[in-house]
Amino acid sequence: MKIDIITIFPKIFDSYFSESLIRKAVEKGIVGINIHDLRKWTENKRRTVDDKPFGGGFGMVMKIEPIFKAVKDLKRKESKVILFTPRGKKYDQKTATKFSKLDHLIMICGRYEGVDERVAKKIADIELSIGDYVLMGGEIPAMVVAESVLRLVPGVLGKQKMIKERTTKSKGFIECAQYTRPEVFEMGKEKWMVPKVLLSGDHKKIEEWRKKHCKIIAG
C-alpha cells in the first residue's frame, strides 16, 4: 500500500506520520507514505496555487493546473484519486476496508474556498467527506482516511488476529466496552467498579455480556 498526499501544508503531517505504529509500518516497508507540496508543481515565481472565483464571490479557489500536474506525475494504472470536500460521499468503515485492499491512494487536500470543480469532475475518482461539518483544509481528512485504512493493512497493527476476531463475517467490526486495572476507581465517596462478570473468569458469561455492550460498525 502506498499513499501520496498532495497539500499546500506538508509540514502538518510531519509529526503525525513520524509517530506510533504508522512510523513502524513505514520503517518496515509495509506501507509507503509520501507528502507532496503542491507548490512543487507551480511554474510562476510566487508559486501560486489559488485564484479568484469566476462569477465573483468570497475567497479564493485552488487552481486546476498544479493539481493536474501533480496527479499526472504520481498516478499509476492502479491508483485511486481522492478529493476531500465536505460535499463528498460520507467516509465510513466500509470504504476504509475497500481502500485497504488497494495498492495506491492519491489524496488531494483542498484549502481556501475549495478546489476548481474540474478537479472533482475530471481528475478525482471519488470525492470524500469525513462528516457534515466544514474544516479549513483536507489535511485532517487525509490523516483520518490514512490511519483508518492503514490499520487494516496486514502487518501494520502487528496483531492481524485481533482484527479478525473483531470482524464478523458479514456485518463489520465489533467495538466493545473495555475496562482495565484498577478494578475499583475511588472518586471521593463513590466507587466506580468494573462489571463483576468481566472478573469472573466465566468465558460464556463474558461473551454474553460483550454481545450486549458491543456495537457493530459496518465494514
Binding of ligand SAM at residue 66 (CB under 6 A)?
no
Annotated binding residue 102: no
The string of DSSP codes covering 38-85 is GGGG--STT---EEPPTT--SS-EE-HHHHHHHHHHH--TTEEEEEEE
**What cell does 190 get?**
463513590
In the list 48, 60, 86, 163, the residue contacting ligand SAM (rule: CB under 6 A) is: 86
Annotated binding residue 14: no
Min dist CB 36 to ligand SAM, Å, is 15
Binding of ligand SAM at residue 84 (CB under 6 A)?
yes
Residue nearest to ligand SAM (CB): 110
Residue 24 belongs to what H/E stretch? helix 20-27
Which of 105, 108, 109, 106 has the alpha carbon at shortest distance from 135?
A: 109
**Of residues 89-118, which lie at the interface with ligand SAM (CB under 6 A)?**
109-111, 113-115
The CA distance from 113 to 152, in Å, is 33
Number of residues that bind ligand SAM (CB under 6 A): 20
| Interface residues toward ligand SAM, by CB under 6 A | 84-87, 109-111, 113-115, 129-131, 133-138, 141
* Annotated binding-site residue numbers for S-adenosyl-L-methionine: 110, 130-135
